[in-house]
Amino acid sequence: MVERNPLSRALAVGLQTDRPLRPSTKEKIVDAAEQLFAEHGIESVSVRNIAAAAAVSLSAINFHFQSKENLIKVVLARRLIPLAEVRSANLGKLLESTPKPTTRDILLAFLDPLFDMQRSSDPGERAFLRMLSRTLIFPSPEYRELLTSQLSSSLAGYVVALQKANPSLSREELTNRLDFMIGAIGHAFADSTRRLDYGAKRSASLKRLIPQLVAFVVAGCEAPPALPDR
C-alpha cells in the first residue's frame, strides 16, 4: 500500500471531527497559527502565542495537535493540498484545449492559483500565501522536506509540459529555473517592504507587480541554455 503524503495525513488527523472538543475550536487554532506564522515566521511563534491569539488553552492545542510540529503540518496541508489539486486541474484543462501551449500558458496555469490567493477577499488565504512565501525563502530542515515533496508532486506534470515547450533545455537546467522562479515568487509575496530599493521607483502594489513578475519568470524559463562554465 502506498503511504499517504505526510501533509494529507496531517490534514486528516489534525482536522478530524470525532474528538470531544468542537471542530470550530480546531479551526480557530489553525486560523490563529496561520496569521501568526504569516506575520512573524514559523520559528518565531510559540504555542503559547497561538493559544493566546485563538483564545484557547494550551491543553486544547496539545489535545488536538499534540505538538507545534503537527499543528504546522495541518496549517500547511489545509491549503497546499487544494492548491495542488487546482494546479493539476489547470494543467489538464490547458493540455486538452491547446495542442502546443506556450511557456507563458504553462507557467500561468501553475501561478494563477497563487495570484488568486493574493487577490482573495479571504484574509486567511492572503496570510497563508505570505507564510508560504516566507517558509520557501527561509525553510527550516524539518519543513523543507514537506514543502519539497508537495511542490515536487505538483510540478512533475509542469516539468514535462515545459520540456516540450522548451526542447533545447535539459531537465536539470529547467528544474533549476523553476527553483529560481519559486524563489522569485516567494521573495515578491513574503513581504513587499523587504524588497531592495535601487534608487528607482518600485511597484507599490502587487496588482502592478504581478505582470512584471510573470514577464520575468517567463523570460527566465525561455532563455537559451546556459553556456558551460569556463
CB atoms within 10 A of CB 30: 22
Domain 6-222 fold is Tetracycline Repressor; domain 2 (1.10.357)
pLDDT of residue 100: 92
pLDDT of residue 20: 44
C-alpha cell belonging to residue 36:
501568526
pLDDT of residue 210: 86
pLDDT of residue 3: 43
Contacts of residue 185, defined as CB under 8 A and 6 or more positions apart, other chains included, come to 111, 114, 133, 136, 213, 217
- Asked if 69 and 105 touch (Cβ cutoff 8 Å), the reply is no
Would you state the torsion angle of the CA atoms of residues 42, 46, 52, 54, taken in this order, to the nearest 10 degrees?
A: 40
| Alpha-carbon 35 to chain mean position | 15
Q: What are the pLDDT tens digits along the chain (230 aa)?
A: 334 455 555 554 455 444 444 447 899 999 999 999 988 888 889 999 999 999 999 999 999 999 998 998 899 888 888 988 999 999 999 999 998 999 999 999 999 998 888 888 888 888 888 888 877 777 666 666 667 666 677 788 999 999 999 999 999 999 999 989 988 888 888 765 555 454 445 545 667 788 999 999 999 999 999 877 65
| Alpha-carbon 83 to chain mean position | 8
As to burial, measured by CB atoms within 10 angstroms (0-12 exposed, 13-18 middle, 19+ buried), residue 68 is: middle
Residue ranges per domain, the chain? 6-222
C-alpha cell belonging to residue 50:
497561538
pLDDT of residue 206: 64
- Asked if 75 and 30 touch (Cβ cutoff 8 Å), the reply is yes
Q: Nearest CA to 77 among 20, 19, 7, 13?
A: 7
